[in-house]
């Protein structure tokens, strides 16, 4: 749950963002990656979190 436990990321157009890095240690599309970074951008309306976009990156951070 990156939104609750991740680090803050600046979003555009009034959106908030959180990111989190996970151990991956797997092969994806024929290439080995140590970590996976998930970035979630969201808005809060009437005390409800609405996910706008989720990005996933593979590599080492």
- Nearest CA-CA partner of 39 in 28, 12, 26, 25: 12
Which CB contacts under 8 angstroms, 24+ apart, belong to 47-56? 49/3, 52/15
Residue 29 has which token pair?
Answer: 């599309």
Say whether pLDDT at 2 is over 60.
no
The pLDDT, as a whole number, for residue 23 is 97
Number of H helices, E strands in the chain: 1, 4
List, for residues 23-45, the tens digit of each pLDDT value.
Answer: 999 999 999 999 999 999 999 99
**Entry pTM:** 0.84
Domain-wise residue ranges, the chain: 2-59
The pLDDT, as a whole number, for residue 45 is 93
């Amino acid at each position: 749950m990156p939104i609750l436990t991740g680090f803050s990321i600046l979003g555009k157009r009034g959106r908030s963002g959180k990111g989190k890095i996970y151990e991956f240690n797997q092969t994806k599309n024929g290439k080995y990656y140590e970590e996976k970074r998930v970035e979630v951008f969201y808005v809060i309306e009437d005390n409800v979190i609405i996910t706008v976009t989720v990005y996933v990156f593979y590599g080492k951070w």
